[in-house]
Structure 1
Amino acid sequence: MFSQLMQMNPPGCIDGHHGEWLMSPAVLTEGVRVFWDAGYQLHVHVNGDGGMDAVLAAQIVRAGSMVRHGLRVPFHSDFMMAPMAPLLLAWCAATRTTRSGRRVSPEEMLGVEQVLRGITIDAAFALRLDHEIGSIVAGKKADFTVLEDDLFELGAERLKDVRVAGTVFEGDVHLLERPLARLLAGAAAPRPVSAMRASAPHGRYRKPASAVCCGPDGDPCVFLRQLASARVAEGPRAA
């Protein structure tokens, strides 16, 4: 599904081929400046870490400027083109650090609370569903994620290390057998597992998730295959 012409940083593609620029970094940077200054909203689709470095270097994601001007800044993963990793998105917006370790346009970084809004209530606002989801408020759907670690205690630099303990979906608690962080996370500080894990109920298709779901293979399609298997095992529904 990924474009074979995407620009990759060293060591590049495993078969030795290299990508092609549809728009060179110099042209991209100048073009962004022209349209941004003219008041246009910019949207860019990019594949490859080399291409992403060029996008960040052009300061396309001017999240800090948008927030300072009173705009909401939601984030999304482009699933299924990329894994669902909202905490990684939050870390990117809070640190603006590339894979090479370079920090791009630090003046556009967001605080921890603001990036959390970007993957919760402001993301719901972008979907026009903030009246139903996005925050824990009486009258909204009881859909949210249970985290094992304190985001504010770890701080912006370790947002991608935060471990997920489980979820609450439509009011039902679904906890993992053990808290899991995403593939690129470092070792998070150990914390006690919640006592409610042992007694948590499971919904119709919300069976206890295995380590494979969030494991080192990084396969974003695992959940979809698990859901399909559950439906097949149940058999056809009555008309």
Structure 2
Amino acid sequence: MRRSIIAFILLAGCADSQPDLSDITLYRTTAITADADQPKATGVAVKDGGITAVGDFDALRKQLSGATINEEYADQVLLPGLIDPHVHMTLGAMMYGAEMVPPWDVPMPDGEISGLTSRGALLTRIAEIDASAPDGPLVLWGYHDLIQGDIRRDDLDAISTERPLFLWHWSGHDFYLNSAAINMVGATPALADQFHGIELDNVGELTGRIYEDALLAIFERFAAVIMHPDHIQLGWDRYEALLRDAGVTTVAEMGYGIFGRAIEDTFLAAHHDSTDGYQVYLVPEHRAFEQEFGDTVVETVRQMAAERENVLPQIKLFSDAAFYSQTMKLTPPGYVGGQSKGQTGLYVIQPDALPDLMARYWNAGIDIHIHSNGDAAQDSTLSAFEAQSPGTDEQRLIIEHAALLTPSQIERLAKLPAGVSAASHYVRYMGGVMAEAIGEKAEYLSPMGSTAKAGIPTTLHSDAPLAPPYPLLAAQAHLLRDTEDGTISLPEERLTREQAIKAITLDAAWSLGLENEIGSIEAGKRANFTIVDRNPLTTKPENWSKIRVLGRIKDGVIYP
């Protein structure tokens, strides 16, 4: 189709009567296309929100005589519109609207928030926020035990026994409550009989830590705090400002329905529309959809994807739990330190149930994204997928996050119609300290250099709000493999600059099944571009964070 569009233009130029091409805009620029057949170009022609031709500017100007010439970007660089293929919009609005107590520096639109790198600094800051905040429950997000030390109920009670305090772990999978918060949500030691994620002390009393599926038992009791319209408005505005500053043109909500479809649809309708400079796609989350639709869940996903342009014909599954909170599933000996010492983590879907669950969606032609972090989880995920029928030529499995991948697991993955969407920030934030918790398994942390070399589609995501939705910053993290504590994690796993660009453009589009629409600058695709002030391919990796985003073009519309 793309070549036929170009041929039409060329034939039209040879006709006796020259057609009116003024509705075509021809950009003079430096274009880094992510197209292997034409990696660079100096001219890009756009009409009706789509790319009609790519090539040498002077040649295209002759072929497209009468086209509107735009030289605004002649000294700038057009990249394919940057893509963050795994974010959480509603969760992000909740977290970005909360008081932040992060363990590392976090860029925000209204100024960087400094990291609190010790237990004392964290507790001091919580006390300061408590002293100045209006009356009512207080939610604080960003705590991490490996950086800031153990915090439990008694520590928070020392700050306040009257105000409910909810300390939200960076991962989003754990909460730490003071006594007032415990009373507010009605939590009791008896919940430990129903949920694994209720932590008890030596005498059987609540420590205040409640995590994973046990959060379902308490969430509704304080949801009104973090889902209040004013809270969501503040958080969403901050989120959109980050996307703007990062030059992101496409994101995928990788867990549609977790907080309730009606609520999420309401928030999306209220805060996002076609005038924004980015597109949101939705990937349904299995547990939420199964709870709502029961036995009809597979057909519902197919029908919804057919009827709604922003819903993808894909499903999100979970193999195991969380990297940051040390609940991802490991092979023995499991965790050697941290808050899960002596344990092996948690499966979300048991290995014996995963093949049949996958088959329900795969046999219906639905792509599968699966949250799969630990090395034991990877074995479960790969075995389940190896048991599937071939599927269609277009179908794909995407391992989400992929905290640990051993060489043998990469070999297995390379034989499958599968890709990896890596959490870009595991290395940056935790590459220097995770060995404290997982020991020698840290040798397999986010080996994206190896997956790319093996020909496995390899993309990077922020999992925002767990990292800023900055694709260029994500790429730099894997160009350098530098960590928060100043060490280098597995330098042999660095990506090349070409691989890094592809990871945040074309491979990201592939993971969403959108590689024929976006992800590269090619005729026939949508006119989605990110405008930057320098060429990443000639910029030193350590300077990628200094690349300035000047604007976005989405479907041909310019967003400065």
TM-score of the superposed pair, with normalisation by structure 1: 0.59
Structure number, greater radius of gyration? 2
The structure with the largest strand share of the pair is 2
Asked whether the 8 Å contact 1:7–1:18 carries over to 2, the reply is: no
Q: Which residue of 1 aligns with 2:559?
A: 174
Deviation at residue 57 of structure 1 after TM alignment: 3.6
Distance in 2 separating the partners of 1:38 and 1:109: 19
Q: Decide whether the 8 Å contact of 1:57 with 1:105 is kept in 2.
A: no
Aligned residue number for residue 138 of structure 1:
523
Task: Choose from 110, 117, 125 the match for 1:11.
Answer: 117
Percent identity of paired positions between Structure 1 and Structure 2: 28
1:59 aligns with 2:444: yes
Alignment-derived partner of residue 464 in structure 2:
79
CA change 1:74–1:7 in 2 (3 A) is same
Report matched runs for 1:210-229 at 5 Å: none
CA distance in 2, matches of 1:77, 1:10: 21
Letter in 2 for 1:71: I
**2:481 matches 1:96:** yes
1:49 paired to 2:429: yes
State which drifts further: 143-152 or 105-114: 143-152
CA contact (8 A) 2:481 2:490 kept: yes
- The change in CA–CA distance for 1:97 and 1:131 in structure 2 (over 3 A counts) is same
Question: Which residue is equivalent to 1:154?
Answer: 539
- Structure 1 segments, 4+ long, off by >3 Å, are 6-10, 19-28, 31-35, 40-53, 55-58
The superposition leaves residues 181-235 of structure 1 with CA deviations (integer Å, 9 ceiling, x where unpaired) of xxxxxxxxxxxxxxxxxxxxxxxxxxxxxxxxxxxxxxxxxxxxxxxxxxxxxxx
Structure 1 residues 169, 125: CA separation in 2 closer, same or farther (over 3 Å shift)? Answer: same
2:444 match: secondary structure: coil
2:500 maps to a residue whose letter is V
Indicate how the Cα distance of structure 1 residues 135 and 37 shifts in structure 2: closer, same or farther if over 3 A, else same.
closer
After superposition, what is the alpha-carbon deviation per residue over 1:121-150, rounded to whole angstroms, capped at 9, x for unaligned? 010001110110001111111111001122
Residue 100 (structure 1) shift: 2.1
Instruction: Report if the CA contact (8 A) 1:142-1:169 is conserved.
Output: yes
Question: In the alignment, is the contact (CA less than 8 A) between 2:430 and 2:483 conserved in 1?
Answer: no
Tell me if structure 1 keeps the 8 A contact 2:432–2:489.
no
Count of aligned positions: 171
Which moves more between the two structures, 111-120 or 146-155?
146-155
TM-superposed deviation, 1:85: 0.6
Q: Greater relative contact order: 1 or 2 (C-alpha under 8 angstroms, separation 6 or more)?
A: 2
Q: For residue 43 of structure 1, report the CA deviation from its aligned partner.
A: 8.7
Question: What secondary structure does 2:550 align onto?
Answer: strand
- Larger CA deviation: 115-124 vs 12-21: 12-21
- Give, in angstroms, the shift of residue 68 of structure 1: 1.6
TM-aligned CA distance change 1:72 to 1:11, over 3 Å: same
Mean alpha-carbon deviation: is it higher for 31-40 or for 62-71?
31-40
Gaps of 5+ in 1: 176-239
SS at structure 1 position matched to 2:552? strand
Q: Secondary structure at the match of 1:173?
A: strand
| Residue aligning to 2:492 | 107
Counterpart position of 2:213: none
SS of the residue 1:97 aligns to:
coil
Alpha carbons of structure 1 residues 24 and 144: separation in structure 2 relative to 1, 3 Å: farther
Tell me the distance in 2 between the aligned counterparts of 1:160 and 1:76: 16
